[in-house]
């Protein structure tokens, strides 16, 4: 199932964007084997394996990469793989004996995906960092927030998952397509800071055209405009409005029984605060559900602001199957969707345990050899 069925990927386990990139490939049918350390390290926010949703749809095995036998074992897997994902600091896999030069010598068609925050080169390449640091350096963080307040951390969606995981997955698939033509693999340098900068491309264009100011909350996509804003309702819940185009704004006015002649020009920025105050007072007169009954499904570009608990229950998500329940845990379904090669329902994350080493048998190792590796402590 899935368009990537038949491709094999070795994942050197990490945190955040690397696992998500591997999840995206596995969701679409790639056979991914996650190589964990004997003593896995994480964010210090521990939870049972079944809740590690970024680890879904693939098997895992712990291998001691500090011993030459463990490195040799991974190289055997690399020889059979189409791609590899690693998320260490620059130079770490080289010191382990698993760098691109060695792996590509073993498998010339290998796509070697490298996930870092700052990139493989540059003065910050060896520094520690997280999503918030990377988007700070690209201008993305500066642009997000309300006037007179500090920038708002947008979860870790922008650099980790948007600029990191998605660009890594795109880069690997692009390189796999090229390898089909050339017969040669290559290194994919997926830096979260590069991806986050790329995501800001449109805003650079707007800024250069004089249509986007560096003042937070003063632009038409950052909450500055009355027609792209979140409004509180009578029950303390919120709704989101985004009728940017004139015809959609006209539909909002019609449904709200507002005379367009009483409203200022859409791009009259000096009047935006007054209009926002007027709409804020109006939306406070009804509950979120009452506004949904009036506006949802119209061309007014309206949606209720739902919580993590509420979102999966929304009728639109139910109709499309946007969320699935796996092992009793509600989670997003694989995306995007394919007409001829649809993805399978995700498989629960594979915990590391006594039986996890058996996954090596699917990569050409015999059971007695796997048992010997376990006895020697090479495989956990």
Over residues 282-321, the pLDDT tens digits come to 999 999 999 999 999 999 999 999 999 999 999 999 999 9
Asked if 34 and 147 sit in the same domain, the reply is yes
List 27, 64, 131, 160, catalytic entry: 160
Task: Indicate the pLDDT class of residue 351, thresholds 50, 70 and 90.
Answer: confident
Same domain (yes/no): 288, 187: no
Assigned domain for 310 exists: no
Q: What's the CATH code of the domain at 103? A: 3.40.50.10540
Q: Is 368 exposed, middle or buried (0-12, 13-18, 19+ CB in 10 A)?
A: exposed
Give the predicted TM-score (pTM) of the model.
0.95
Among the listed residues 292, 282, 343, the one whose alpha carbon sits nearest the alpha carbon of residue 315 = 292
pLDDT tens digits for 34-55? 999 887 666 667 788 899 999 9
List strand residue ranges (DSSP E) for the chain, in order. Answer: 8-12, 31-36, 59-62, 83-86, 111-116, 186-191, 229-232, 238-241, 302-304, 323-326, 329-332
351: tokens are: 């915990």
User: How many percent of the chain have pLDDT more than 70?
Assistant: 99
User: How far is Cα 98 from Cα 71, in angstroms, rounded to an integer?
Assistant: 7
104 vs 18: CA distance, rounded Å: 20
Q: Which domain holds residue 44?
A: 8-199+323-375
Q: What pLDDT is stored for residue 353 in this prediction? A: 82
Model pLDDT, residue 43? 64
Q: Which of 79-88, 157-166, 369-378 has the lowest mean pLDDT?
A: 369-378
Annotated catalytic residue 194: no
Count of structural domains within the chain? 2
> Are 263 and 178 part of one and the same domain?
no
**Over residues 205-232, mean pLDDT:** 96
More confident position, 45 or 56: 56
Do 124 and 163 fall within a single domain? yes
Q: 44 and 181 share a domain?
A: yes
Q: Is 207 a catalytic residue?
A: no
Please compute the mean of the pLDDT values over residues 335-341 and round it to a whole number: 97
| pLDDT value at 76 more than 90 | yes
Residues 157 and 59 occupy one common structural domain: yes
| Section 225-231 average pLDDT | 98
Q: Per mean pLDDT, which range of 162-176, 268-282, 342-356 is the poorest? A: 342-356
Q: Is residue 91 part of a domain?
A: yes
Q: What is the pLDDT of residues 107-161, one digit of tens each?
A: 999 999 999 999 999 999 999 999 999 999 999 999 999 999 999 999 999 999 9
Q: Kindly report the average pLDDT of the chain as a whole number.
A: 96
Give the active site residue among 130, 207, 238, 314: 130
Residue 356 has pLDDT above 80, yes or no: yes
Tell me the CATH number at 254.
3.30.1540.10
Same domain, 257 and 143: no
The pLDDT, as a whole number, for residue 189 is: 98
- Do 14 and 129 reside in the same domain of the chain? yes
**Predicted local distance difference test score (pLDDT) of residue 340:** 97
Least confident of 80-94, 151-165, 201-215, 344-358: 344-358
């Amino acid at each position: 199932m899935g368009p990537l069925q038949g491709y094999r990927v070795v994942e050197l386990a990490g945190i955040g964007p690397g696992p998500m990139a591997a999840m995206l490939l596995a969701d679409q049918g790639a056979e991914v084997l996650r190589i964990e350390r004997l003593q896995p390290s994480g964010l210090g926010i521990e939870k049972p394996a079944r809740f590690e949703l970024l680890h879904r749809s693939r098997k895992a095995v712990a291998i001691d990469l500090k011993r030459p036998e463990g490195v040799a074992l991974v190289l055997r897997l690399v020889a059979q793989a189409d791609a590899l994902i690693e998320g260490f600091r620059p130079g770490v896999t080289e010191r382990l004996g698993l760098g691109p030069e060695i792996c590509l010598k073993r498998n010339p068609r290998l796509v070697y995906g490298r996930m870092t925050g700052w990139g493989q080169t540059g003065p910050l390449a060896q520094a520690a960092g997280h999503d918030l640091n990377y988007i700070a350096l690209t201008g993305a963080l500066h642009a997000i927030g309300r006037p007179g307040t500090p920038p708002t951390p947008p979860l870790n969606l922008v650099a980790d998952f948007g600029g990191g995981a998605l660009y890594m997955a795109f880069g690997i698939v692009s390189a796999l397509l090229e390898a089909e033509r050339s017969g040669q693999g290559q290194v994919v340098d997926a830096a979260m800071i590069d991806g986050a900068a790329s995501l800001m491309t449109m805003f650079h264009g707007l800024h250069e055209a004089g249509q986007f100011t560096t003042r937070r909350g003063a632009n038409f996509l950052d909450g500055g405009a009355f027609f792209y804003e979140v409004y509180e309702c009578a029950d303390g819940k919120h709704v989101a409005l985004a009728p940017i185009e004139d015809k959609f704004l006209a539909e909002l006015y019609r449904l709200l029984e507002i005379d367009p002649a009483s409203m200022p020009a859409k791009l009259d920025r000096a009047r935006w605060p007054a209009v926002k105050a007027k709409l804020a007072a109006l939306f406070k007169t009804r509950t979120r559900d009452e506004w949904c009954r009036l506006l949802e499904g119209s061309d007014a570009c309206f949606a209720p602001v739902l919580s993590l608990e509420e979102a999966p229950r929304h009728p639109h998500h139910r109709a499309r199957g946007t969320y699935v329940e796996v092992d009793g845990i509600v989670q997003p379904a694989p995306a995007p969707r394919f007409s001829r090669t649809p993805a399978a329902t995700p498989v629960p994350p594979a915990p590391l345990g006594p039986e996890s080493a058996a996954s090596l048998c699917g990569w050409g190792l015999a059971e007695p050899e796997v048992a010997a590796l376990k006895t020697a402590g090479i495989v956990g």
